[in-house]
Amino acid sequence: MREDGRVDAEAVGLQLDSYLPYRLSVASNAVSRLIARAYEDRFGLSIPQWRLLCVLAEDGGLSQATLVARTVMDKVTVSRAAQGLVKRHLVTRAQNTADGRSQLLALTADGRSLYGEIAPLALAYEAALIAGLAPGEVVLLKRLLGRLQTAAGQLAGEAPRG
């Protein structure tokens, strides 16, 4: 402890600006804020709504439980995002014939059209974000992020992702 009451961070060995979990969080928040503004301003979509649109465009009709797992968002966030998309007629709900207790969410024609309009913008943001990186660095970054996500899941006791 220093005389001014602060902890001697160097002695402890933790410097927040070089602490990887903090750097990942700060970078993620910066990217999310940038993209959220674009989706909200141009399309009236929240980030959770955009994620649901993407997953439904890629995978087709899914149950809400599958969407929770696929997007790594909590149930309440997925439920609210889905309600907003249904209200805007971008997503429909239908009874799940395989499991009568759940419903399947699927994109409507308007939802597919909106996805087709937003996807190029998303890819342009990604391209701008990685413009200063060499192609090999991008591949490495994506691989390392996947490994970090797997390690975090294992530390949390989650089943390995397939």
Residue matched to tokens 């503004």: 37
Instruction: State the pLDDT at residue 11.
Output: 64
Q: Which domains does the chain have, with CATH numbers?
A: 15-129 (1.10.10.10)
Report percent pLDDT > 90 for the chain.
Answer: 64
Residue type at 22 in one-letter notation: Y
The yes-or-no verdict on residue 161 having pLDDT over 70 is no
Q: How confident is the model at residue 158 (pLDDT cuts 50, 70, 90)?
A: confident
SS3 state at 103? strand
The number of CA neighbours under 13 Å toward the Cβ of 13 is 0
In order of 13, 82, 99, 124, 144, the CA distances from 109 in angstroms are: 55, 16, 25, 24, 37
Instruction: State the pLDDT at residue 8.
Output: 65
Instruction: State the pLDDT at residue 1.
Output: 60
Which tokens belong to 148?
């970090």
The yes-or-no verdict on residue 157 having pLDDT over 90 is no
The pTM for the full model equals 0.78
The number of CA neighbours under 13 Å toward the Cβ of 39 is 23
Instruction: State the pLDDT at residue 37.
Output: 85
As a whole number, the mean pLDDT across the chain is: 89
Instruction: State the pLDDT at residue 162.
Output: 54
In order of 57, 138, 147, 158, the CA distances from 152 in angstroms are: 28, 21, 9, 9
SS3 state at 116? helix
For residues 117-134, average pLDDT: 93
The number of residues making up the chain comes to 162
